[in-house]
């Protein structure tokens, strides 16, 4: 998994990125030696992470910090004496860390552990839900309206003024107490974040006699924050809501043969569970009894049911549609494919795309720059424009409200998370915002043949003994050798021959060539044309026979001893139905497809011609594929690699973006690549590029919206008649606009 933990420049401390507090836990979760996990309800933005990192920097004894912004958790690994100091430093920074238990930490990616409740951004005390927060803000708004009414209608006498100020003060306390706490903490540390700006602006407005407006601004700000917090949580939890669908219980067969409903967390490996038609699969497993069609859309994005029979794999969260099946459990509840997808997406949400990192840096300059302009307005306007000190100070306070970089900073993570979620719903697991955004830059994609362009399920289509060898003996020897190998071609030979096999000694793989071993003391090899050529066993007649098969796109494997070729076996793999369209889609996007395969050149050319690929290269060992990727990067620029995530690991690592095919249930594929195609559909590569282009476009639309609106109101504040009300609407209106625009990625995908 590739993630980023680069400290972020402190641009703001935007509470709208926050959600509900977690329930108080009895004890922290140990995560390795000395590791403890804490839930921080007000931390799910990069700025909060930056604040906490800076607060913990002076403390010795801290070995590592692990932030999970989506889950609002922080893992601290430190010496025992450092924990109290760390927690105190976090509290002084304006946060309230609570020990997290395994049930609310959701660190293992188990969907059952996620807390889907979300309170508003300012209600951080334990025991207060979303509804109580709404009630408090409604009360604050009513009081703010009351303060306005007193100011407008009441007689201009001290008693009414004091009453109005008291009402305004109560409204500010109800709406902005948390803002003041965090704002003061930020100011004491010399930081200019949104809470500090709002605290200074509202306090200043109150002190210069604009108390009704100060109360109304704080109430409107808090309500807008509440709306925005809910919208941001919706984006962050889009993938969780989609995938949080595996049942809590499974019908498990006990040791006594009795079936009983059992919590999925208590179902052990190798247990057998029964799944009736219409029920969801509770855990990953292998069908042992029954036949059915299973809807695998939650995992692969494909809604067409897949037929399942004994020996086939099923995944947690998928839907059993037609027949009753019994399944042997192969993965615990916290390690199902579904759980690992959730965990991978959470990790991806914690990484920042290039545009997001640019925005963080820009906002860090933007906020103090506008603050400096506000100070200049307060000091210079009376001298240069003839305004009163009170008028210039009011303009400066309006500028402070406008200076909030909320819309700018929030524009990128919401869009990126929406893009990641939209991809996951289509069976595309993208491991970070960087790959989501940079896929649009791909100019070429290298494609493995077997399992990527072709079905990856070759069949033995022809074989014959060679050089006078006995056919029955050759079949038995070849079947014994092939049955020991996991290579798809070897499996096809073993299945096609279906003979009783002999015992193989000293068996070992010859990477990129075949296998070797000894049967009854006789050394044998079962390998490709390259291996036989290297052994010097190729003759003119054999070369002609090999050429005949290879011209038909067949892969030929030969059985040989130290002196002679004993038999040859022709295996054919068929092209996937989706491959031709996938190649056409890549070309339409301006991406050049290139086939890289270990099969012989003739086979590569035959399959490439069927798929519509002009450049096909065969006879490539893993290191040759790596060199080919490097050459493509020099020729084309940004290059992707699509393979199985195992044999193609060096090439996947070298490529700018690695796509692993057939990731459903394959740990190695999920670890090796930057993007995992969960359903083996090559069309998803072009779809990833298209999604990347849309995401990048929306990112820059959002940045333009945020900066454009800010610029208009900055000019109005300095030279026109912008009020604090208008400033709040400009700030929060822009924030809501960019959030809604980011959601278009999800809505378009759903349509």
Residue 294's contacts (CB-CB under 8 Å, 6 or more residues apart) are: 281, 305, 306, 308, 314, 318, 319, 320, 321
Question: Is there a catalytic annotation at residue 599?
Answer: no
Residue 468's contacts (CB-CB under 8 Å, 6 or more residues apart) are: none
Separation of CA 614 from chain center:
34
Residue 264's contacts (CB-CB under 8 Å, 6 or more residues apart) are: 112, 246, 247, 248, 249, 250, 282, 283, 333
What Cα–Cα distance (Å) separates residue 492 from each residue in 128, 170, 548, 610?
62, 78, 20, 22
- Integer Cα distance of 605 and 552 in angstroms: 10
């900066």: which residue's tokens? Answer: 707
Residue 486's contacts (CB-CB under 8 Å, 6 or more residues apart) are: none
- Integer Cα distance of 370 and 403 in angstroms: 6
Query: How would you classify the pairing of strands 73-78 and 62-68?
Result: antiparallel
Tokens of 547: 């050429």
């407008």: which residue's tokens? Answer: 152
The DSSP call for residue 637 is S
Q: Which among 13, 393, 21, 52 is positioned nearest to 183, based on CA atoms?
A: 13
């430093």: which residue's tokens? Answer: 89
Phi, psi of 444 (to 5 degrees): -150, 150
């524009």: which residue's tokens? Answer: 411
Q: Does residue 509 sit in helix, strand or coil?
A: strand
Question: Which residue stretches of 649-751 are H helix?
Answer: 649-654, 667-672, 683-719, 724-742, 744-750
- Integer Cα distance of 289 and 92 in angstroms: 59
What Cα–Cα distance (Å) separates residue 372 from each residue in 11, 665, 709, 722?
15, 55, 19, 18
Of residues 44, 51, 123, 448, which has the active-site annotation?
448
DSSP bridge partners of 260? 252
Q: Does residue 418 sit in helix, strand or coil?
A: helix
- Integer Cα distance of 12 and 45 in angstroms: 9
DSSP bridge partners of 74? 38, 67
Question: Which residue stretches of 237-327 are H helix?
Answer: 238-243, 297-300
Q: Which among 11, 14, 13, 18 is positioned nearest to 229, based on CA atoms?
A: 18
What Cα–Cα distance (Å) separates residue 417 from each residue in 230, 420, 491, 550?
14, 5, 41, 47
Q: Does residue 424 sit in helix, strand or coil?
A: helix
Q: Which among 337, 553, 550 is positioned nearest to 424, based on CA atoms?
A: 337
Phi, psi of 474 (to 5 degrees): -60, -40
The DSSP call for residue 17 is G
Residue 104 C-beta-side C-alpha neighbours within 13 Å: 24
Query: How would you classify the pairing of strands 615-617 and 592-596?
Result: parallel
Q: Which among 244, 455, 483, 466 is positioned nearest to 346, based on CA atoms?
A: 244
Residues labelled catalytic: 448
């Amino acid at each position: 998994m590739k993630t980023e933990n680069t400290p972020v420049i402190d641009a703001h401390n935007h509470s709208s990125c926050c959600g509900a507090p977690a329930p108080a836990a009895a004890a922290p979760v140990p995560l390795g030696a000395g590791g403890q996990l804490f839930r921080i309800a007000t931390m799910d933005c990069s700025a909060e992470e930056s604040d906490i990192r800076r607060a913990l920097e002076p403390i010795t004894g801290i070995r590592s910090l692990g932030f999970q912004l989506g889950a609002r958790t922080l893992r601290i690994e430190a010496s025992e004496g450092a924990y109290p100091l760390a927690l105190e430093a976090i509290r002084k920074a304006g946060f309230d860390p609570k020990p997290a238990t395994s049930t609310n930490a959701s660190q293992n990616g188990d969907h059952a552990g996620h807390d889907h409740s979300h309170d508003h951004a300012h209600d951080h005390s334990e025991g207060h839900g979303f509804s109580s927060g709404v009630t408090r803000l409604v009360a604050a708004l009513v009081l703010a309206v009351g303060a306005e009414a007193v100011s407008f209608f009441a007689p201009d006498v001290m008693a009414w003024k004091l009453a109005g100020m008291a009402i305004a003060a109560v409204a500010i306390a109800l709406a902005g107490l948390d803002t003041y706490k965090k704002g003061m903490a930020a100011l004491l540390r010399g930081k200019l974040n949104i809470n500090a700006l709002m605290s200074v602006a509202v306090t200043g407005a109150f002190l210069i006699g604009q108390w009704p407006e100060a109360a109304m601004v704080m109430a409107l700000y808090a309500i807008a924050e509440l709306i925005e917090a809910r919208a941001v949580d919706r984006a962050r939890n889009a993938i969780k809501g989609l995938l949080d669908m595996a049942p809590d219980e499974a019908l498990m067969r006990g040791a006594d043969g009795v079936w009983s409903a059992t919590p999925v967390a208590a179902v052990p490996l190798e247990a057998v569970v029964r799944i009736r038609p219409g029920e969801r699969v509770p855990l990953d497993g292998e069908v042992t009894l029954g036949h059915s069609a299973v809807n695998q859309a939650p995992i692969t994005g494909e809604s067409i049911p897949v037929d399942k029979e004994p020996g086939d794999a099923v995944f947690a969260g998928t839907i059993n549609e037609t027949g009753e099946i019994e399944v042997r459990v192969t993965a615990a509840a916290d390690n199902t494919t579904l759980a690992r997808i959730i965990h991978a997406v959470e990790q991806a949400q914690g990484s920042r795309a290039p545009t997001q990192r640019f925005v963080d840096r820009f906002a860090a300059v933007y906020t103090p720059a506008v603050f400096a302009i506000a100070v200049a307005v307060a000091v210079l306007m009376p001298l240069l424009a003839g305004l009163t000190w009170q008028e210039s100070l009011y303009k400066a306070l309006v500028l402070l409200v406008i200076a909030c970089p909320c819309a700018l900073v929030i524009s990128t993570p919401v869009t990126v998370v929406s893009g990641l979620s939209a991809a996951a719903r289509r069976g595309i697991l993208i491991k970070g915002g960087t790959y989501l955004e940079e896929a649009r830059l791909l100019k070429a994609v290298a494609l493995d043949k077997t399992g990527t362009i072709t079905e990856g399920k070759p069949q033995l289509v022809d074989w014959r003994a060679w050089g006078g060898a006995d056919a029955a003996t050759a079949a038995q020897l070849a079947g014994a050798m092939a049955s020991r190998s996991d290579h798809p071609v070897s499996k096809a030979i073993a299945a096609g021959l279906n003979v009783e096999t002999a015992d193989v000694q000293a068996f070992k793989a010859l990477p990129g060539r075949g296998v070797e071993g000894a049967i009854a003391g006789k050394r044998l090899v079962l390998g490709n044309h390259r291996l036989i050529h290297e052994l010097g066993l190729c003759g003119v007649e054999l070369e002609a026979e090999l050429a005949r098969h290879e011209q038909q796109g067949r892969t030929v494997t030969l059985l040989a001893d130290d002196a002679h070729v004993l038999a040859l076996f022709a295996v054919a793999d068929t092209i996937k139905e989706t491959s031709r369209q996938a190649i056409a889609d890549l070309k339409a996007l301006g991406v050049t497809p290139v086939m890289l395969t270990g099969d012989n050149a003739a086979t590569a050319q035959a399959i490439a011609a069927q798929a519509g690929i002009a450049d096909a290269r065969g006879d490539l060992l893993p290191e040759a594929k790596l060199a080919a990727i490097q050459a493509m990067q020099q020729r084309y620029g940004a290059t992707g690699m699509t393979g199985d995530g195992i044999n193609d690991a060096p090439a996947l690592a070298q490529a700018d973006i690695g796509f692993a095919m057939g990731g459903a249930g394959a740990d190695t594929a999920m670890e090796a690549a930057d993007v995992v195609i969960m359903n083996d559909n090559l069309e998803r590569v072009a779809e990833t590029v298209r999604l990347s282009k849309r995401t990048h476009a929306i990112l820059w639309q959002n940045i333009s919206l945020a900066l454009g609106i800010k610029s208009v109101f900055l000019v109005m504040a300095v030279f026109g008649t912008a009020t604090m009300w208008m400033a709040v609407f400009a700030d929060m209106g822009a924030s809501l606009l960019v959030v809604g625009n980011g959601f278009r990625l999800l809505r378009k995908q759903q349509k």
